Amino acid sequence: MRTFSSAIQTLINNETIKFFFLIELNFAQDYYVTSHSSDIVYDGQTYLADGGLFEVDSPRFSSTVDRESYRVVIADAANQMLSEFKNNVVGKDITVKVGFLDSNGLPLTSTADVIHIYKGFVDSPSISNDFEEKLAVIEGTSPMSDLDSVNVFYTSKDGMDQKDITDTSFDQIYGDREITIKWGKV
C-alpha cells in the first residue's frame, strides 16, 4: 500500500485534487519539464513550464510484473528532440513524478509530497509532423522489458576461454550441449 505525506493525505480527504507532472529526460542533455503554468524548483532542479510538454500518459497501477509502456509527448518546434533522437536516445532514462497544489493553488515541492509514478527507459522515440505541429513522441518501457530477451551462451571449455582464459569452471565439459532454462513464473 502506498503511503502519502500528511499534506497530500489532507488534500485527498478534504478537497478536489489539482496536480502537475514533473518530467526528467536524461538524454545527451538533461531535460526537466513540467505541466504546471510556471517553473517548478524540485529537489535542486528547475522544471521548465515552457519546455514544450504536450501530453503525458495517465498513471497506471499494475499488481503484476509487466512490460507496460509509458508515453510522453513534447512539442519540438526547435528540433531539439529530433537532434537527440538522431543521436540515439533508446535506453536513456525517463522519470515521471506527480506534484500537487495546496488549497491556495501553490505547488507542494517537498520530496515527501511528490510521487514517483514512472521510471523506465526510452524504447521507441518518434517525431510526428502534420505541418501544423511537430511533436516528439517518447515511448518508454519498464525495466521489465528485458523479460522477453534471449541471450545465447555456449557452455564449452573453448566457450569460456572467450570470456576469461584463466577461468577453469568449464574444463570438465567435453561436448557442447544446448539447454533451455525457464525462469520466473512458469
pLDDT of residue 155: 65
Task: Give the three-class secondary structure for 30.
Answer: strand
Confidence tier at 27 by pLDDT (50, 70, 90): very high
Run of H or E including 176: none
The pTM of this model reads 0.71
Q: How many residues does the chain have?
A: 186
**Quick one: average pLDDT of 157-175?**
72
Residue 149 has pLDDT above 90, yes or no: no
Task: Give the three-class secondary structure for 83.
Answer: helix
Task: Give the three-class secondary structure for 143.
Answer: helix
**Quick one: average pLDDT of 3-16?**
80
Residue 24 identity: E
Residue 44 has pLDDT above 70, yes or no: yes
What DSSP state is assigned to residue 148? G
Mean pLDDT, the chain, whole residue set: 82
Residue 150 has pLDDT above 70, yes or no: no
Task: Return the domain boundaries, the chain.
Answer: 6-147, 150-186
Contact call for residues 36 and 106 (beta carbons, < 8 A): no
Residue 52 has pLDDT above 60, yes or no: yes
pLDDT of residue 163: 75
Q: Which range is least confidently modeled, 67-71, 95-99, 123-127, 157-161?
A: 157-161
